[in-house]
Amino acid sequence: MSICLLDGVSITTVEGLGSTETKLHPIQERIAKVHGSQCGFCTPGFVMSMYALLRNNPQPTPEEIEIAFAGNLCRCTGYRPILEGCKTFCDKENCCSKVKLDEVNQEIDKDNISTELYDSSKFATYDPSQELIFPPELLILGKEPPSSFSICGSEVTWISPISLDELISAKQDYPNSKLVAGHLEIGINTKYHGVSNRVLISTANVKELNDIIETANGIYVGAAVSIARLKEELEVIIKRLPEHKTRIFSGFVEIFKRFGCCQVRNVASLAGNIVTARSTSDLCTVLVGANCQLTIKSLEGSERQIIIDDTFFTSDGKCGLSSQEILTAIVIPFSKENEYMYCYKQSHRHDNSFAIVNAGLRVALERSSVTTWVVKDCTLAYGGMGPKILRAKQTSSALIGREWKNDIIKDSMALINEDLPLEYSAAGGAIEYRKALAASFFFKFFMKVQSDICKEMPLDHSAVSNICYHPSKSIQIFKKVNPDQPSDDDLWRPIVHLAGLQQTTGEAQYCMDIPQYKNELHASIVQSKRAHAIIKFAGFFIVKICDRNSLNCFNRSINYDDAINLPGVHGYISAGDVPGSNRFGHLMPEEDLFSTEKVTSYGQMIGLIVAETKEIADAAVRLIKIEYEDLPAILTIEDAIKAESFFFKPCHLANGNIEEGFANSDHIIEDELYIGGQEHFYMENQAVIVVPKAEAMELEISATTQSLRESQFAVAKALGIPSNRIVCHIKRLGGGFGGKKNRISSISAGVAVAARKLRRPIRLLVDRHVDMTIKGGRAPYLAKYKVGFDNNGKLKAVQIKMFCNSGYSMDLSPVIMSFSVIRLFGSYAVENFDYTGIVCKTNTNSTTAFRGYGTPQAVLITEKIMTEVANRCGISQREIRESCLHPEEFIASFNQKLENCQIRNVWSEVIQRSDYENRKLQVEAFNKNNRFKKRGIAIVPCSHGVGYTGIKFLDQAGALIQVYTDGSLLLSHGGVELGQGLHTKLIQICTHILGIPKEKIHLIESNSAIIPNATQTANSSATDLYGAATKDACEKLNERLVPIRADMPNATWEELISAAYSNRVNLSVAGYFVDPTETLFSFETKTGLAIKYYTYGAAVSEVEIDTLTGDHQNLRTDIVMDVGSSLNPAIDIGQVEGAFVQGLGLYTLEQQYHTPDGIPLMTGPENYKIPTASDIPREFRVALLRNSTNSKAVFSSKGIGEPPMPLASSVFLALQDAVMACRQENNASSSFKFDSPATPESIRMACADNITEKIKKTDQKDGEKGWGIRC
């Protein structure tokens, strides 16, 4: 939103609500104390969304809260604790956020469990009367007549008229100006696409454009009326007028609910959507379907009214409004007695997502006899079926005069297919799916109208109803704390995240919150725009750096004259400026820091522009011209296999006699499974600040890194200086998930080169679209498998060949693939197997570490095979898995005996807690009674091995405790707080060992000058390593204090420390830990340990799908997780929920596509969709296994950040189960393609039926390329 729209508005920020130093607002307190803040970067947004809701409704319903959060994203928590904290403001009688304990099977150790992660009785009371008052001066100003104003900036002039005449006059003065309502589209285009608008004219205060008037024909809506206001007005009218008169209004209201989110609806307008003219616009489609009238005024004064139809829209983004015309109003007509209208939308995600296809379908009927109705008029409008909004004209014409009965369905669907042809290259892809949606929407519409006019007819309501989204509820079950444990010993208690309160108040500091340095400059990255190309030869050229001319020997065709000459630009940094090595890598130096002669992927870093401001630097980057000579590009895994383009040697693991196993099998299945990649999508983008010091080439680096050591080393290597001249530090990260481990090191090195050259502090904040193209995420996998088994489902032989798309460099892919190979059939006993992992080299972004580190792919491959075996044999999914689960002391595929195996314990408990068998029967009963809605249920186990396999040097950690004479303690360690609660757990360890309250302990930051050579924070090992190092430091401190305690047995902690200081006891204690369990497994010899220990889990998930659209909802998930002895149940349960929801995104939602030329298509939140609060299970039940021990980690705990993620495969398999039920009813084959993610497209097209069978496949013209490819 433009700040110019806020004239006369009172703005309240999260800092203005409350603070830890004064008084917390109840929202801030409750979100923190209900454990709703992990990394904290998204938390202020949730606080303010809730605050806006409470100011308008002090006692909201759970539904209203979830609607209010539709525009907020979180990647850490899984949303459950945020929702739960905010639902404490609901009326207790209507609040349903918690599953009651009596609804849960209590036979499992019921006297030893707790479900209370917080004490709500201690929350401050919320009193709406104590809220901030609206500023009196603004109230006074609001009572005065409004006045027009204009603001003239260096780049933009903003004009805010108050009357239509003033608006027309301003438009006449500035004919090339843009009219602004909510500033949404213009703001996005300005910020991310470099579109410049010199003059903007606001419609917000124009009186005539803000009217809503009820007329004889309908509702007159001024062009500037917001969607939110219009929705409220229509809801009032619907309640007041007869039902038959407001059917069109009801259609609008329903589509408004799915339009953007409440934040968007508050500022967006109908007129803004019309002139923006997106081909997928929900509102434009409905306006056309309803035959709405537009009032258009010319600048000369004439006025015309038109009925909006598809001819008004000329192409995507363009409409029939000339530059000399202004849209002033829209009239939404009343519906007539026998007129019906319904609206439909299918999007990639339920909330805040553009439509794949939408429809506004209207029919007017007249009775021809007592029992028959004939079509009098019809409009079938569709969005997403071409380059603009379209009407199915042939279909509409053919329907007029026909009787409204079942035999029109077949004819209409055939005509719709002809009316709405999509070219093979149509933007958005999914051609056949979109055609199926168009037909399915008509079918739904027909059935709904049929039910309206023939209410006595029996009807399958599953055809007409949409998936119903109910508010979520949950329960968390964990072991009670020993009542004899001292109250100031916080270990094993669900205490609040150490920085939770600061994160809810906005006090928590992140990298970009560091105040600007004097003389600071800003950098922006110059990226390659080709997937594989040579940068053409040009010759030598001169580049102006600051006030000096210097010769740059980078002799390639990069023209940045316009960029350098832009006022405020200080220089261009490239490979020629690197004083040390321009090569870097993680397993070996395999790629350039700055690309020179050739680029091997879109998005690679070619150089940096350095300027006075970020905006100038970004603008300069857009002015750079690079000439390329394109080379053939390998993009997909299939391309790489065909070209034999591989990294490293394959990773191989085998056992038994595979050929004999196949020979002895009654059944053999050969198939393949594709698993798409995943973007990290952490809330805080990558960022770095480099400050050069005045002497000895010293540098201070603040970087969003999970590995201080790697960033420090990369900078030292690029600059050719020792590491001891570089201090790298960070206080916390706004999420990481593996994405801030490697690539930020090279970015930091590039900025350090610039800072050293220009001798000024330089700051770089990587924008989201750059962040998503300069690095890869989780690697896509393709598994080709062959499995043999007998009639009882016993596995005789399993052969799997996995390929991953590593991108243009290895990065960590060989290590990740080795983890995948080890984790195949990780919970099951298989005698004869042959597993191979191959890393593919392509011309896409280099994929990297991601939460789960190869396990999510391995588990889904395994569980897909187990499901197919059960289906082929007619054996239950539970039985087939139980028969193969690891027994105690089983020898795993990597030749290691499994100790303290808990897989059967978590399995049996999740079956009992979830009431699996009864619910399975309920699912079957539901499916029998609902033809077009199907449910599925699935159960999966997971065994996630923890440990750095084959990387001995990472299994070490350091910590430092410094105690001051007032008794306060400063703890430092080499780990990084990513939101996973590492700092909190380490403080709990300190309180337990030292016997002091947590308030005595503080952590400032992670700093390479304090803890050198720190092991990265990754692989679910940070608490294992740094917790053990902290424990070592605490125990050493206690040992030093033994003589003092002996002399002063009753001394307080403060007295003890004071005495120790007086006796010259060293109160600075270094802790160090070396893991005695060396995981040095060799694939060649099958010797050595592959894992330290397993973290076990099991999940049951139930889903419901709409077989006509592919829409689905996660109804319920039950998880039982073995975390050993949980150091903090609240944090561990938060990790379980957050990992599960992130896995849900991987398996069901998050898609990545490239153009056929290798350009990434998913580069921001507008087209890459992560789960929102409405995507989590409607019932989310998590239990921690009690009485589990683990001798391999600190205080018998277990790593938990990654292990729960593969359990989300239960949702994928439940969706497959629901699809299978549909196919069985339609007599379709039980064998079908179902890759990951299970998107609406995958689900709908797998539900083979009469509609999909009749969809004509779009022909590919000669030379025509598809819109996108999966890599």
Q: Which residue has the higher pLDDT, 947 or 1061?
A: 1061
Q: Indicate the range of 94-103, 174-183, 588-597, 798-807 predicted with least confidence.
A: 94-103
Return d(Cα 554, Cα 607) in angstroms, integer: 11
What ranges make up the beta strands (E) of 890-955?
A: 933-946
- Summarize the confidence of residues 749-757 as an average pLDDT: 98
Return d(Cα 357, Cα 438) in angstroms, integer: 7
State whether residue 1119 is helix, strand or coil. strand
- Summarize the confidence of residues 257-272 as an average pLDDT: 93
pLDDT of residue 543: 41
State whether residue 45 is helix, strand or coil. helix
Which band of pLDDT confidence, cut at 50, 70 and 90, is reported for residue 369?
A: confident
- Summarize the confidence of residues 119-142 as an average pLDDT: 90
pLDDT in tens, 964-978: 999 999 999 999 999
Report, in this order, helix, strand and coil percent for the chain, each rounded to 5.
35, 25, 45
Retrieve residue 28's tokens: 């801030």
CA torsion angle for 993, 994, 997, 1003 (degrees, to 10)?
-90
The residues near 56 (Cβ < 8 Å, ≥ 6 apart) are none
Please, which residues bridge with residue 1002 across strands?
Answer: 970
Is 1202 designated active site?
yes
Q: Which residue has the higher pLDDT, 371 or 240?
A: 240
Return d(Cα 364, Cα 350) in angstroms, integer: 30
pLDDT in tens, 682-701: 999 999 999 999 898 999 99
Q: What is the Cα gyration radius of the chain?
A: 31
pLDDT in tens, 640-677: 999 999 998 999 999 999 999 999 999 999 999 999 99
Three-state DSSP string of 187-238? HHHHHHHCCCCCEEEECCCCHHHHCEEECCCEEEEECCCEHHHHHHHHHHHH
- Summarize the confidence of residues 5-19 as an average pLDDT: 92
Return the amino acid letter for 526: V
Which band of pLDDT confidence, cut at 50, 70 and 90, is reported for residue 190?
A: confident
pLDDT in tens, 695-726: 989 999 999 999 999 999 999 999 999 999 99
Which band of pLDDT confidence, cut at 50, 70 and 90, is reported for residue 457?
A: low
- Summarize the confidence of residues 907-914 as an average pLDDT: 96
Q: Is a pLDDT exceeding 90 seen at residue 556?
A: no
Burial of 37 from C-beta contacts in 10 A (0-12 / 13-18 / 19+): buried
Retrieve residue 9's tokens: 């508005």
Cβ atoms of residues 1013 and 957 within 8 Å: no
Output b/e per residue, 513-546; b: 16+ Cβ within 10 A. eeeeeeebbbbbbbbbbbbbbbbeeeeebebbbe
- Summarize the confidence of residues 132-159 as an average pLDDT: 88
Which band of pLDDT confidence, cut at 50, 70 and 90, is reported for residue 437?
A: very high
Q: Is a pLDDT exceeding 80 seen at residue 455?
A: no
Please, which residues bridge with residue 969 across strands?
Answer: 963, 1001
Average pLDDT score over the chain: 94
In the β-sheet with 113-114, what is the strand arrangement from edge to edge?
113-114, 473-479, 1179-1184, 1112-1121, 1093-1106, 933-946
Three-state DSSP string of 804-872? EECCCCCCCHHHHHHHHHHHCCCCECCCCEEEEEEEECCCCCCCCCCCCCCHHHHHHHHHHHHHHHHHH
Identify the active-site residue in 208, 1202, 1241, 1253. Answer: 1202
DSSP 8-state class, residue 22: S
Return d(Cα 599, Cα 969) in angstroms, integer: 51
pLDDT in tens, 170-180: 999 999 999 99
Name the residue among 920, 924, 927 with its Cα closest to residue 460.
927
pLDDT of residue 764: 98
Neighbours of 662 (CB within 10 A): 18
Neighbours of 88 (CB within 10 A): 20
Phi, psi of 630 (to 5 degrees): -65, 145
Q: Is a pLDDT exceeding 80 seen at residue 538?
A: no
CA torsion angle for 1042, 1046, 1047, 1048 (degrees, to 10)?
90
Alpha carbon 417 to chain centroid, angstroms: 34
Which band of pLDDT confidence, cut at 50, 70 and 90, is reported for residue 106?
A: low
Which band of pLDDT confidence, cut at 50, 70 and 90, is reported for residue 105?
A: low
pLDDT in tens, 319-366: 999 989 999 999 999 999 999 999 999 999 999 999 999 999 999 999
Return d(Cα 715, Cα 432) in angstroms, integer: 50
Task: Identify the H or E element spanning 1006.
Answer: strand 1006-1007
- Summarize the confidence of residues 2-28 as an average pLDDT: 93
Please, which residues bridge with residue 798 across strands?
Answer: 787, 833
* Alpha-carbon separation of residue 486 from 968, 997, 1125 (angstroms): 20, 10, 18
pLDDT in tens, 985-1036: 999 999 999 999 999 999 999 999 999 999 999 999 999 999 999 999 999 9
Peptide bond into 1237 cis (omega under 30): yes
CA torsion angle for 557, 562, 567, 573 (degrees, to 10)?
-10
Q: What is the pTM for the complete model shown?
A: 0.96
pLDDT in tens, 43-81: 999 999 999 999 999 999 999 999 999 999 999 999 999
pLDDT of residue 540: 40
Q: How many residues does the chain have?
A: 1271
Cβ atoms of residues 868 and 795 within 8 Å: no
Percent of the chain past pLDDT 90, that is, above it, reads: 87
Cβ atoms of residues 1117 and 1180 within 8 Å: yes
pLDDT of residue 94: 67
pLDDT of residue 550: 39
Q: Indicate the range of 761-775, 879-893, 1003-1017, 1099-1113 predicted with least confidence.
A: 879-893
Return d(Cα 324, Cα 176) in angstroms, integer: 10
Return d(Cα 826, Cα 860) in angstroms, integer: 11
Return d(Cα 1011, Cα 1034) in angstroms, integer: 16
pLDDT in tens, 851-874: 999 999 999 999 999 999 999 999
Name the residue among 326, 275, 4 with its Cα closest to residue 166.
326
Q: Which residue has the higher pLDDT, 729 or 369?
A: 729
Q: Is a pLDDT exceeding 50 seen at residue 555?
A: no
Q: Is a pLDDT exceeding 50 seen at residue 539?
A: no
Q: Which residue has the higher pLDDT, 310 or 94?
A: 310
Name the residue among 449, 428, 430 with its Cα closest to residue 378.
449
